[in-house]
Structure 1
Amino acid sequence: MARIQLDELDGRGVSCILEPDVAAALVKSGLVNLRSEGNSTWRALPRGKVGCVSFRGIDVTVTSKATPASLLFYLAYAKDPGFRVGNVAAEAGDDLWAAFAETLIRTAELALRDGVLQSYLTVDDSICVIRGRIRVSDQVTRRHGAPAPVEVRYDDYTVDIAENQILRAAIRRMLGVPRLSNSARRRLAHLDGKLAGVTPVSAQRLPAWVKSRLNRRYQPALRIAELVLGDQSTVSKGGGAVLAGFVVNMATVFENFVVVAIREAFRGLGTTSAKFGVHLADGERIPMEPDVVHLRNDVPVAVFDAKYKLARKSGRYPNADIYQMLAYCTALQLRQGWLIYAVGGADTAAIRVKNGGIEIHQYAVDLRLKPAEVLERIEHIVRSSVAHLPAAS
């Protein structure tokens, strides 16, 4: 398999020879742009997203600041802050396919270690023997007085429940991706066999499940399964070939992670709102949505904005970010604002705006660190913001 690897900030790209249908599929994936250089030669350039796509023997990977294992953690934690660093099993050096497969396998193995989860499921059925309760209305309208079959509703204790359906769908999708080791494929096939009797479901129509004490051992595996089956992940067939892809916008990943991490760090200290609506001008003109606003007694007391960008060569971040945070602070009537960057630049900086008394803090959160260290960094930022808050009345 021919491999093309790019960094998300690669401005030069990689030259490669591609058939037209392969080029079209790679562009459609959203991971890369292709610039024609003639004679079936293309220059692949990153498109502001990271991930991996494989089609007809071509494997394209765009890497991010975060390791594959860390990326999985950030995605899962944003969905469920109960997801723990230890739930991600892949080593930092693994590629994204291997990281996904190994994490799904290990979490699924733990979920199924004590047996396949069963629960009661309400079933509507047409049978010749009465079981449960007769659905009288359906019996009359469908059977017109015939004694059999009988329209009934009963509770069945079964493995064919939402949790197992989602898990099996993810395992089967993972079996369709390329470049997995024979060991990983054997383990996935073994897990699929354990879930025999579970109805295969489409990734586009996944059943809903609710966290509970009974499915606690399944929850890490279900979070990974949802990522495998999510909108950013595809495994499809076209022209006899399989296109497998996992593509994410890292700016969105970072923003979602920071929002949840800040909310968790503020837990018990008030209300934390994502995408808090505010207007800069009178008459509800010039609407704005800071990433995170913390409120006390429904009054904004702190504002945060996540920025997935590097500092310039000077070590400074774009002035536009300062202007944006200044607008947030002005509209919210706050004296402090916090900008959180994904990597690079000065570790911390505080900028006091002239003639306004507003102070804007810049913090770098390096995604090359281990996820536990990144969480500690977010908690430190929140503690710093709390120290600047006015005393509670």
Structure 2
Amino acid sequence: MSPASLHLTVDETGPGVVRELTGDQLAALLGVPGLVRLSPARGGRWRLTGNQKAGLVQLRTPSGSTIQLHLRPKLPVRNLLFLLSYAPTAPWLRETVDAAEADNLLPALADLLARVTRRTLDAGVLHGYRTVEEELPLIRGRIRTADQLRRVGFPLPVAVRYDDHTPDIAENRIVLAALHRAARLPQLPPNTGLALRHLAHHLTGVHLLPPGTPLPRWTPNRLNSRYAPALRLAELLLSDRSLNPDGGQLPTTADGFVLDMPAVFERFLTLALTDALARRGVRCAAQEQHHRLDLAGHVRLRPDLVLYRAGRTVSVVDAKYAFRHVPAPPTEHLYQLLGYCTALGLLEGHLVYAATTRDGPTEHAIRRVGITVTAHALDLDRPPTELLATVGELAERITAAPNPARAEADVPPGATGQ
């Protein structure tokens, strides 16, 4: 690093840090909107506060110097890794806990990827059939008749199409790309880097995705189910969705890995609560669009989770990554749930907050409309098994009493959920 480099550590929550910044450095920080919050402080300095992000990113300023920004999560890395790695069909809690030996997100995440990938590849590298079109001196598979008839003169090579049984499939390409990227993460222990490179050598015959290439699509099935945990981590490392909500690459002036913590919490709650409710005969629809709030159907709503039993809407849940320490939710959160319940014809809705306390749920009955909003807190400091037990208790409470539907006589035809 050049002498002009700046090292900053900003906590996800809290008062932040106050530093002197040059115009060059300020421009680099503003070049990635939402990474941190910037506000003027005394003496011409600037206050940098967290913006619910966690990770490490290196920014390049217009003059060529660098800023290494460490965004420190509020949660212990051990707990954060569990939220990231959770999958109902393959919790693999042991690897998650073992990976968090140091309170540093990137090395722990890289170590977790190495552990999970090793376990995945120990059972053998997955092969699949891929359709190949090429020109050969002999016939293999099927002749591409139209291409072959366009030839003039000597009929060789032959234009053919065939199915090749190969390791060069979407699942292996994603895992290989993640192994290469993880091996280049900063602050990586030598042993972890060596393990990642060794695992990459197991994927001989798999093409490495060029930087900036969209990730290939894969479809979960019986054959690739053992790859699911590794693929989940690999896609997380390769996505950079926290800095670009549309899922593209980091800006050319930035490099690193950053997590959007509200998205992490929402994903965990969706997976864990969906699994817990399914055992109670309730189906969850995530991010489902509805247009039933106004009579014309022009207002679009997208609740985090809408719950159905036997095809009938029974409840609505919204995740809030806000560490609440007061009994009442913010007014805007109550308004949001009030709108969801009104549109869906429900008399009760649920807010689920991240928390580091073990406060019980609180009910808030809304005057004149007969709707009750219940606020719950998930203590993310609990061990994984206790946290999942709490999610089970939440599912039990949501489904304990039937949620009577409001009258829908005022809903016109065509204003149904989309």
Partner-residue secondary structure (3-state), 2:272: helix
Partner-residue secondary structure (3-state), 1:157: strand
Q: Is the 8 A contact 2:81 2:100 kept in 1?
A: no
Q: Distance in 2 between matches of 1:211 and 1:286?
A: 34
1:127 alignment partner, one of 132, 136, 144: 136
How big is the shift at 1:344? Answer: 5.3
Q: Deviations over 1:24-55 (max 9, x none)?
A: 44443442245577999654332343322135
Q: Distance in 1 between matches of 2:29 and 2:232?
A: 27
How big is the shift at 1:376? Answer: 2.1
> Do residues 310 (structure 1) and 323 (structure 2) align?
yes
> Do residues 340 (structure 1) and 318 (structure 2) align?
no
Q: Distance in 1 between matches of 2:43 and 2:146?
A: 69
Structure 1: gaps (5+ residues): none
Q: Distance in 2 between matches of 1:327 and 1:215?
A: 41
How big is the shift at 1:18? Answer: 6.4
Q: Deviations over 1:47-96 (max 9, x none)?
A: 3433221356643222333333433443444xx54341425352164311
Greater shift, 42-51 or 245-254, is seen at: 42-51
How big is the shift at 1:187? Answer: 1.2
How big is the shift at 1:169? Answer: 0.8
Query: Superposed, which structure 2 residues align to 1:1-393 within 5 Å?
Result: 3-15=7-19, 20=24, 23-30=26-33, 31-34=35-38, 43-55=47-59, 58-77=67-86, 81-86=88-93, 87-88=95-96, 89-91=98-100, 93-141=102-150, 143-144=151-152, 146-202=154-210, 204-232=213-241, 243-267=254-278, 269-276=281-288, 277-311=290-324, 314-343=326-355, 346-389=359-402
Greater shift, 122-131 or 261-270, is seen at: 261-270
Question: For the aligned residues, what is the CA RMSD?
Answer: 3.2
Amino acid at match of 1:136: T
Q: Is the 8 A contact 2:291 2:298 kept in 1?
A: no
Q: Distance in 2 between matches of 1:121 and 1:286?
A: 45
When the two structures are superposed, what TM-score results if normalisation uses the length of structure 1? 0.85
How big is the shift at 1:119? Answer: 2.8
How has the CA–CA distance of structure 1 residues 333 and 368 changed in structure 2, closer, same or farther, with 3 Å as cutoff?
same
Q: Deviations over 1:102-153 (max 9, x none)?
A: 0111111112223333333221111112222221111112x23531111112
Q: Is the 8 A contact 2:356 2:381 kept in 1?
A: no
Greater shift, 148-157 or 274-283, is seen at: 274-283
Q: Distance in 1 between matches of 2:75 and 2:226?
A: 27
Partner-residue secondary structure (3-state), 2:308: strand
Percent identical pairs in the alignment equals: 36
Amino acid at match of 1:263: T
Q: Distance in 2 between matches of 1:139 and 1:211?
A: 37
Q: Distance in 2 between matches of 1:4 and 1:189?
A: 30
Greater shift, 159-168 or 380-389, is seen at: 159-168
Q: Distance in 1 between matches of 2:270 and 2:252?
A: 38
Q: Distance in 2 between matches of 1:278 and 1:258?
A: 24
Q: Is the 8 A contact 2:242 2:260 kept in 1?
A: no
Work out the number of aligned pairs and report it: 384
Amino acid at match of 2:31: K
Q: Distance in 1 between matches of 2:343 and 2:225?
A: 43
Partner-residue secondary structure (3-state), 2:200: helix
Greater shift, 291-300 or 222-231, is seen at: 291-300
How has the CA–CA distance of structure 1 residues 236 and 331 changed in structure 2, closer, same or farther, with 3 Å as cutoff?
closer
How has the CA–CA distance of structure 1 residues 254 and 233 changed in structure 2, closer, same or farther, with 3 Å as cutoff?
closer
Partner-residue secondary structure (3-state), 2:379: coil
How has the CA–CA distance of structure 1 residues 110 and 315 changed in structure 2, closer, same or farther, with 3 Å as cutoff?
same
Structure 2: gaps (5+ residues): 60-64, 244-248, 405-418
Q: Is the 8 A contact 1:232 1:246 kept in 2?
A: no
How has the CA–CA distance of structure 1 residues 287 and 162 changed in structure 2, closer, same or farther, with 3 Å as cutoff?
closer
